Amino acid sequence: MRNDEKIYPCANPFSQLYLIPRDKLYIRFCPFHSTMVEIEDYENTGYEELCDIFKNNERVIDIRQKFLNGNFKGAGCPASCECMGAFHVGATGYKVEDYQDNNGEFIFNKANLSLGPDCNIRCRYCLDTDNFEVDFGSCKPKFADFIVPFVHDGGHLLLTGGETFLPKWGVVDKLKELALLGDNKGEIEVFTNATLLDDDTCEAILNAPVAFIGISMDTCRPELFDYIRRGSSFEVVISNAKRLLRKRNMRGQEKPCIRILCAVLKSTADHLEETVDFYLNEGFELSLNILFRANFSPDFCERESIDMLSLVQMENLMEQLVRIEKRWGDKVYSASFKGQLQNAINRKKQNFSAQQILVEADMPEEKRGLIR
């Protein structure tokens, strides 16, 4: 890439719509952006209508143009966005041309369909129902009808929950339909709690253009897993995950990638190596992350954030992470988590330094420095 070639933090405003089908259809560029378009009656909003919104809606065009002009704040990109953070420290971004057709028009080829909070379990960090009134049936199933034409035509679809394999969505039927069509130009990524990965669902996944399955499992200790993921069962989930992995391997397929999504919590930090070794020895990939406070119970995040660890515990966690990376290499996706952990360590050290200054200010001069 030439030094004078303009690059941008992320590709979402070029190519993606983030879709939340609740009482209205809420359309954004990504989870971090504010809603651009609201559609009250979206029973008949399908693939063609979304393409029209992407290309011709005035609000969408306005935000995209601000983004292109480098006015990222005006476009709704918050400083907390990971892409924005990487961009500001000099990481390579994205070129406009990669998301335009031969006529220079932007291509709608990515969609993120968020089906939360509709779910069959009640994870403590996701939605703490002891403190919140949550309607777990708030999304409308009709909107899932756009999946087949979008993916068949070349779209890349990310499905997130709640739980994406709830029967109400008919995702398994959509996968079977795509398998029958064949010649699918697009792909699907799915995030799931794996409670519903029975034989029929696994077969549908393996026959369809599914490139990635992310399974949320934050510990390898059954009792702790069952506590965190209220209403789920470690034995059921690991059995279902192994079933999908075994069936894929028996077919000799490379796809889908089956990755364990591990949120590192205060209560799981002391056995991170144990957890990573367990899942990778089973043949899964694994990624590490922290709690994303914007979407989760603030009370649980306050209790279980890695920021609640002591400095000694944080440094122990970093030592575990270094050993994990040395042992497993690129089978563990840990770069983002490692940076976030280092930031937490730095904050903790700075806080200690500030406390020392305050304490020493009230000490006799001859005793200052001894507490270090």
- Residue 263 belongs to a domain: yes
d(CA 260, CA 199): 19
* Gyration radius from the chain CA atoms: 23
pLDDT class of 372 with cuts at 50, 70, 90: very low
Average pLDDT over residues 150-172: 93
Check whether 371 has a pLDDT greater than 60. Answer: no
- Residue 3 belongs to a domain: no
Instruction: Supply the range of the domain harboring residue 333.
Output: 12-367
Q: What is the model's pLDDT at position 4?
A: 52
- Residue 224 belongs to a domain: yes
- Residue 318 belongs to a domain: yes
pLDDT tens sequence across 234-248: 999 999 999 999 999
Bridge partners, 262 (sequence order): 288
- Give helix 311-328 / helix 335-361 axis angle, nearest 10°: 160
Nearest to 193 by CA among 219, 209, 215, 160: 215
Return the CATH number at 82: 3.20.20
- Residue 2 belongs to a domain: no
d(CA 263, CA 267): 11
Number of domains in the chain: 1
Per-residue tokens: 370: 């001894």
369: alpha, beta or left, given left = phi > 0 and alpha = psi -120 to 50?
Answer: left
Q: What is the model's pLDDT at position 292?
A: 62
Average pLDDT over residues 36-44: 91
- Residue 233 belongs to a domain: yes
3-state helix, strand, coil in the chain (%, to 5): 45, 15, 40
Among residues of the chain, what percentage have pLDDT more than 70? 89
- Residue 7 belongs to a domain: no
d(CA 262, CA 241): 14
Check whether 82 has a pLDDT greater than 70. Answer: yes
pLDDT class of 32 with cuts at 50, 70, 90: confident
- Residue 163 belongs to a domain: yes
Q: What is the model's pLDDT at position 134?
A: 66
Average pLDDT value for the chain = 88
pLDDT class of 364 with cuts at 50, 70, 90: low
Helix or strand run (H / E) with residue 189: strand 187-192
Q: What is the model's pLDDT at position 260?
A: 97
Nearest to 138 by CA among 168, 153, 117, 157: 117
